[in-house]
Amino acid sequence: MKLSIWTLANWLQKKDMTLQLAIWGGEPRVESVSLVSSFDSAIDCLQLWQADGGDVIASHALDRFTVYGQTLPTVHNALQEAFSYYNNWERNLLNYMIEGKSLQDMLDMAHQIFQRPMCIKSSSSWAFAITKDYDASVHPNWLVFQESITNRQANLNAVSAVSLDPYFRQVFAQKYPSIMHSPVFGGDVLHANVWLQDQRVCEIVAIDGGEPFNPGDPHLMHFFAKLLHRVIQANTTLYLSYSGLAAFFTDMLETGTYNELNLSAVLHKLNWQKQDELAVFCVEMTSGYDTPILSAMREKLTERFENGCAFTYQGRIVCIANVTKDGGYAVTQKSAAETIPGDIFIWGASFEFDGLENFPAYYQQAYAVLGCARKLNEAHLGMYDAAIPLFYGQ
């Protein structure tokens, strides 16, 4: 396993060795250690030697650290132990993935390295897995995360602070793990997003627990996140609700085509009749950011419109409501207004229509109405209200 020199230095420090650090990069490229007397020029090798004054120096590229008061064999053996430890961890995680272990098992294995409160949360922040033996005092929302393991419900209040905080919300667009200050926790967290087909499907959060993170920790977390990506990719129906439906509707939007047999299968799965009237709602955050509260809102719409389907597309929520089953167009639009907080979200609704094959055209209509609502500074608009402004280009 390739490690950062930060991780190796931290390993020695935890063994009560005194170090002076001169690390400028610290990229995770080191996978072996070699004594200078048996010089290895490989780019992935940490070079180790004893200076004239007796101090031990470790060097990789432009990075180095000095170990005081230790012999060369002692430092060398400790570093060999570090590589053995992390290689075993890598092997165990890979075996877990091959054996089809749960995300909880994977998190428990990751906890052996990070040794602090951790959880794996869905894109809407209900927990897939959470480390055991930590009480609610470790984080203001820890109890909410624990409860969401069983109820699997999104909590808008629990994610609103980080979703709306200008400093923190950009972390949800990051491709690489980072150490961030949490506005809710009031301390540092190590945060990683897991992406699938360019969509953020879950996040991994480790809480500092009173012990500062090491600059090498994001690299270790990146390795763990890559494995989780592969696990979730192989089990999308288990971890991603409505993944099949979302894929079908997304493909309709992007290609404008559909398979008649698949269309019939979707109607059957949703228990829709061909003559049912439908309406499309297009929802965005007023801030324009795709954060956990957007995914939480998607799940709330799924709960509210149990006869419909809601999914995320291009940073917005698309909800297809069955107007016939939900009491008519006016009632359906009123339900949406009662469910979607107007201070956080803005949305537009299409005309009602029949024939699911017409969905892409009515999505474009709802999207245009959303743009009209934003232009007129309205929290939401239906096509009946937006028709005149759209016609006159207002």
Q: Tell me 241's DSSP state.
A: T
Amino acid identity of residue 143, one-letter, is L
- How does 45-56 read in b/e, with b if 16+ C-beta sit within 10 Å? bbbbebeeeebb
Query: Which residue is associated with the tokens 């698309």?
Result: 318
Q: Which of 15-24, 84-93, 228-237 is predicted least confidently?
A: 228-237
**H helix runs in the chain, sequence order:** 5-13, 72-98, 103-114, 142-151, 156-164, 217-234, 236-239, 243-255, 260-270, 292-304, 329-339, 359-375, 383-391
Q: Please, are residues 339 and 301 in contact by the beta-carbon 8 Å criterion?
A: yes
User: How many whole angstroms separate alpha carbon 5 and alpha carbon 9?
Assistant: 6
User: What is residue 359's predicted lDDT score, i.e. its pLDDT?
Assistant: 95
pLDDT bracket for residue 357 (50, 70, 90): very high
User: How many whole angstroms separate alpha carbon 324 and alpha carbon 251?
Assistant: 25
Residue 50 has pLDDT above 80, yes or no: yes
Query: Which residue is associated with the tokens 């809710």?
Result: 184
User: What is residue 286's predicted lDDT score, i.e. its pLDDT?
Assistant: 84
Please give the residue that has the higher pLDDT: either 170 or 42: 170
Residue 353 has pLDDT above 90, yes or no: yes
User: What is residue 129's predicted lDDT score, i.e. its pLDDT?
Assistant: 92
Amino acid identity of residue 274, one-letter, is K
pLDDT (mean) for 125-130: 85
Residues with Cβ within 8 Å of residue 264, at least 6 apart in sequence: none
% the chain with pLDDT above 90: 57
Residue 289 has pLDDT above 90, yes or no: no
pLDDT (mean) for 320-343: 94
User: What is residue 390's predicted lDDT score, i.e. its pLDDT?
Assistant: 66
pLDDT bracket for residue 42 (50, 70, 90): low
- For strand 380-382 and strand 345-349, is the pairing parallel, antiparallel, or unpaired? parallel
pLDDT (mean) for 337-365: 94
User: How many whole angstroms separate alpha carbon 214 and alpha carbon 113?
Assistant: 12
What strands lie across the sheet with 199-207, from one edge to the other?
127-130, 118-122, 199-207, 188-196, 178-181
User: How many whole angstroms separate alpha carbon 23 and alpha carbon 296?
Assistant: 41
Cα–chain-centroid distance for residue 262? Answer: 29
Output the CA angle 380-382-385, nearest 5 degrees. 105
Residue 122 has pLDDT above 90, yes or no: no
% the chain with pLDDT above 70: 92
List 49's β-bridge partners, or say none: 57
User: What is residue 219's predicted lDDT score, i.e. its pLDDT?
Assistant: 97
pLDDT (mean) for 296-300: 88
pLDDT bracket for residue 8 (50, 70, 90): very high
Q: Helices 217-234 and 72-98 meet at what angle, rounded to 10? A: 20
User: What is residue 184's predicted lDDT score, i.e. its pLDDT?
Assistant: 74
User: What is residue 18's predicted lDDT score, i.e. its pLDDT?
Assistant: 97
What is the overall mean pLDDT for the chain?
A: 88
User: What is residue 394's predicted lDDT score, i.e. its pLDDT?
Assistant: 54
pLDDT (mean) for 39-66: 86
Q: Which helix (H) or strand (E) holds 181?
A: strand 178-181
Q: Which of 58-62, 153-157, 362-366 is predicted least confidently?
A: 153-157
Query: What does the DSSP assignment read for 199-234?
Result: EEEEEEEEE-TTSPPPTTHHHHHHHHHHHHHHHHHH
User: What is residue 158's predicted lDDT score, i.e. its pLDDT?
Assistant: 67
pLDDT digits (tens, 9 = 90+) for 237-271: 677 655 678 888 988 999 888 888 888 888 988 99
pLDDT digits (tens, 9 = 90+) for 201-243: 889 999 998 889 999 999 999 999 999 999 988 887 677 655 6
